[in-house]
Amino acid sequence: MDIGAINCLSYEDFVRILGNVVERCPVVAAAVWSSRPFPSVAALEAAIDDFIEALPESGKEGILRCHPDLAGRELQSGTLTPESREEQGHAGLDRMDASEVARMARLNAEYKERFGFPFVICARTSDKATIAEQLRVRLRNTHAQERARAVEEVKKICRLRLRGLVLADQNNKL
């Protein structure tokens, strides 16, 4: 689907198709729909980024809380969104041994206890070792530093998901 097709979508179709570019937050797609037409994918990305940045800090944390724990219960039970399942699989989180899963669960719990939201990292551009290391390193951040860092990771995830949806058909036409 190209940006022209995205611009022609009804509100319902726009939200249905783009509703999970920010994990479990279709309100983000709903909010930017009225900004159409977007001259480019970059303009759509910017509209989403601007919406997220305009949220109060509590709203940003709300978006973060919609993300699943990495290598957590939802991965183990098969209840992740298709996008998260693919991303966590790409990072190798679905191929961890019992000790790795236990270590990740401990780090996730420590992180959530410290910050009040799940650890968010762009798993598609990481591997399980990098993710575990970043979890350890980012536990040293202040709450404000970590919220800002996690929001930037949400934006990375969103951009990759959006480019996969909007540009996929163009790539197939080549």
- Model confidence over 54-97: pLDDT tens digits? 999 999 999 999 999 999 999 989 999 999 999 999 999 999 99
Residues 49 and 24 in one domain: yes
CA angle 97, 103, 104 (to 5 degrees): 90
Tell me which amino acid residue 107 is.
L
Confidence of residue 171 (pLDDT cuts 50, 70, 90): very low
> Which is it for the CA torsion 56, 14, 49, 91, positive or negative?
positive
Residues 152 and 79 in one domain: yes
The CATH number for 14's domain is: 1.10.3330.10
Residues 45 and 70 in one domain: no
Residues 50 and 19 in one domain: yes
Residues 146 and 120 in one domain: yes
Domain that holds residue 31: 3-62+166-173
Per the annotation, the verdict on 143 as an active-site residue is no
Residues 76 and 57 in one domain: no
Alpha carbons 116 and 134: distance in angstroms, whole number: 17
Residues 55 and 70 in one domain: no
Q: Which segments within 23-126 are labelled E, that is strand?
A: none
Within a domain: 161: no
Domain count within the chain: 2
Alpha carbons 81 and 9: distance in angstroms, whole number: 23
Residues 15 and 93 in one domain: no
Q: Which of 14, 38, 67, 108 is catalytic?
A: 67
Residues 6+ apart with CB under 8 A from 38: 3, 6, 7, 44, 47
pLDDT at 172: 40
Q: Is it the case that residue 21 has pLDDT exceeding 80?
A: yes
Alpha carbons 108 and 14: distance in angstroms, whole number: 33
